[in-house]
Amino acid sequence: MAASMLRLSEVPIGTLGAFMEACAVHRSDDVQELAKFAGFSHSTARKVVPTLETLGIVTRGANDCYLVAVDGVSRGISQDAKDQIIRRALLVFRPFEVLIEGLALGERESDAIRKALLLLGLPDSETSKLRMLLRWGGDLGIVESAGDETKLVTELSPTSADGLGALTATDVESEAKARLFNARRLDRDANNYLDEVDRSLLADALLKYESDARNSIDASGQAIEDFLRHVADDRGLGEEAKKASGAGQLANLLYSKGVIHNHHQKMIDAVATIRNATAHRKDKNTLTPWELTPFGAFSALVMTLTAIRAIHLYTQKGRQTI
């Protein structure tokens, strides 16, 4: 996130839920109309609606009407159901995600906030809003406090996040666990360098490696291809990168220009080779399809994470790390 202010106001979770329902049921471009439906004042609406927009729960549609951008919201849904929807949105809201990445790494709350501000390019004046996000996290059962210590709840702890067998696509916690698993292997700088699309692709690759190896492999391959295009663009090679097809050709370009090491190129070739096996139902030489296994899909993800981390450290700090 660029140096910008977070459009967040401290309001109860229940109030967020009431306006979320209002936006789903009573479509309007008038904040005061939404306030009437939700049963709150106009001044409260002016705080809540921008907050919901910032969290990605509400967006503007045709004729500037406010619409919900998440699934599952309907008239009369229970408060528990509203809480789960807000909880899911908070878990993938990048500023909150950066905070809990820090907690997962064992940082104290103050250190996690300080580092999050720097990683997100936010001024110190936004400290109170990050603390507010953690309070919401406490209300929604994502973090818990013991004395002066704030930590992730047990099911999101690093040990639990590493328990791959616990990850299921239907679990509310699953994407958060997958993101934490990936973030801890990328390191915070490399993870923050990726955009939301690619962090989501990598989470998807982890969530699907057992149930849908083909799409898991494709997600890993797309994420590393996107990453390499960003690296090329940062080095002034954007126009040449547009002519490259796939991660393998991008790696060749970056290696030929001295941006990456030949070991990095070989790692990328490994991922590209696995991905290419998913691109065609039959191998062009044997005319027989490749059998795609969960372990192969997981290997593609691990090699992708390793390559992204290694290339980021090499291009940003000159470190040769695998």
Q: d(Cα 134, Cα 154) in Å, to the nearest integer?
A: 16
Distant-in-sequence, close-in-space partners of 148: CB < 8 Å, separation ≥ 6: none
Q: Phi first, then psi: give them for residue 192, nearest 5 degrees.
A: -75, -25
Per-residue model confidence (pLDDT) at position 57: 96
Distant-in-sequence, close-in-space partners of 76: CB < 8 Å, separation ≥ 6: none
pLDDT tens digits, residue range 230-263?
Answer: 999 999 999 999 999 999 999 999 999 999 999 9
* 88 within domain boundaries: no
Indicate if 183 and 307 belong to the same structural domain.
Answer: yes
* 280 within domain boundaries: yes
Per-residue model confidence (pLDDT) at position 108: 92
Q: Which H or E element spans position 22? A: helix 13-25
pLDDT, greater one: 57 or 167? 57
Per-residue model confidence (pLDDT) at position 161: 44
Indicate if 189 and 274 belong to the same structural domain.
Answer: yes
What residue numbers bound the domain in which 60 lies? 13-80
* 7 within domain boundaries: no
Band (pLDDT 50/70/90 cuts) for residue 124 is: very high
* 159 within domain boundaries: no
The number of angstroms, rounded, from the C-alpha of 113 to the middle of its chain's C-alpha atoms is: 18
The number of angstroms, rounded, from the C-alpha of 153 to the middle of its chain's C-alpha atoms is: 19
Q: Evaluate whether 17 touches 83 at the Cβ level (below 8 Å).
A: yes
Residue 311 DSSP SS3: helix
Q: Look at the alpha carbons of 103, 107, 113, 117 in this order and tell me if their dihedral is positive or negative.
A: negative
* 85 within domain boundaries: no
Per-residue model confidence (pLDDT) at position 286: 75
Per-residue model confidence (pLDDT) at position 62: 81
The arithmetic mean of pLDDT across residues 96-113, rounded, is: 91
* 87 within domain boundaries: no
Band (pLDDT 50/70/90 cuts) for residue 86 is: very high
Indicate if 58 and 117 belong to the same structural domain.
Answer: no
User: What letter does residue 144 receive in the DSSP assignment?
Assistant: E
Per-residue model confidence (pLDDT) at position 173: 60
Indicate if 70 and 101 belong to the same structural domain.
Answer: no
Checking if the pLDDT of 64 tops 50, the result is yes
Q: Phi first, then psi: give them for residue 74, nearest 5 degrees.
A: -145, 165
Q: What is the CATH number of the domain that holds 53?
A: 1.10.10.10
The arithmetic mean of pLDDT across residues 47-51, rounded, is: 96
Indicate if 176 and 286 belong to the same structural domain.
Answer: yes
The last residue of one of the domains, among 37, 59, 80, is: 80
Q: d(Cα 100, Cα 256) in Å, to the nearest integer?
A: 39
Indicate if 226 and 128 belong to the same structural domain.
Answer: no
* 157 within domain boundaries: no
The arithmetic mean of pLDDT across residues 202-211, rounded, is: 91
Indicate if 73 and 125 belong to the same structural domain.
Answer: no
Indicate if 124 and 230 belong to the same structural domain.
Answer: no
Band (pLDDT 50/70/90 cuts) for residue 228 is: very high
DSSP percent split of the chain into helix, strand, coil, nearest 5: 65, 5, 30
The arithmetic mean of pLDDT across residues 258-269, rounded, is: 96
Checking if the pLDDT of 43 tops 50, the result is yes
CA nearest to 203, candidates 216, 192, 188, 187: 216
Q: Phi first, then psi: give them for residue 136, nearest 5 degrees.
A: -60, -40
The last residue of one of the domains, among 129, 152, 175, is: 152
Per-residue model confidence (pLDDT) at position 5: 80
Q: d(Cα 130, Cα 145) in Å, to the nearest integer?
A: 15
The arithmetic mean of pLDDT across residues 60-79, rounded, is: 91
Indicate if 54 and 107 belong to the same structural domain.
Answer: no
Per-residue model confidence (pLDDT) at position 149: 85
Q: d(Cα 98, Cα 183) in Å, to the nearest integer?
A: 9
The arithmetic mean of pLDDT across residues 65-75, rounded, is: 92
Per-residue model confidence (pLDDT) at position 131: 95
Indicate if 280 and 243 belong to the same structural domain.
Answer: yes
Indicate if 217 and 145 belong to the same structural domain.
Answer: no
Indicate if 213 and 285 belong to the same structural domain.
Answer: yes
Checking if the pLDDT of 187 tops 90, the result is no
Query: Which residue in this structure is represented by tokens 């936010």?
Result: 122
Q: What is the mean pLDDT of the chain?
A: 89
pLDDT tens digits, residue range 5-30?
Answer: 899 999 999 999 999 999 999 989 99
According to DSSP, the residues that pair with 151 across neighbouring strands are 144
Per-residue model confidence (pLDDT) at position 1: 40
C-alpha Rg value of the chain to the nearest Å: 22
Q: What percentage of the chain has pLDDT greater than the value 70?
A: 93
Q: Phi first, then psi: give them for residue 300, nearest 5 degrees.
A: -65, -40
The last residue of one of the domains, among 49, 80, 111, is: 80
Q: Phi first, then psi: give them for residue 143, nearest 5 degrees.
A: -125, 165
**Strand-pair category, 149-152 with 143-146:** antiparallel
Band (pLDDT 50/70/90 cuts) for residue 280 is: low
Q: What percentage of the chain has pLDDT greater than the value 90?
A: 71
Checking if the pLDDT of 160 tops 80, the result is no
Checking if the pLDDT of 172 tops 70, the result is no
Distant-in-sequence, close-in-space partners of 10: CB < 8 Å, separation ≥ 6: 132, 135
Per-residue model confidence (pLDDT) at position 299: 93
How many domains are contained in the chain? 3
* 2 within domain boundaries: no
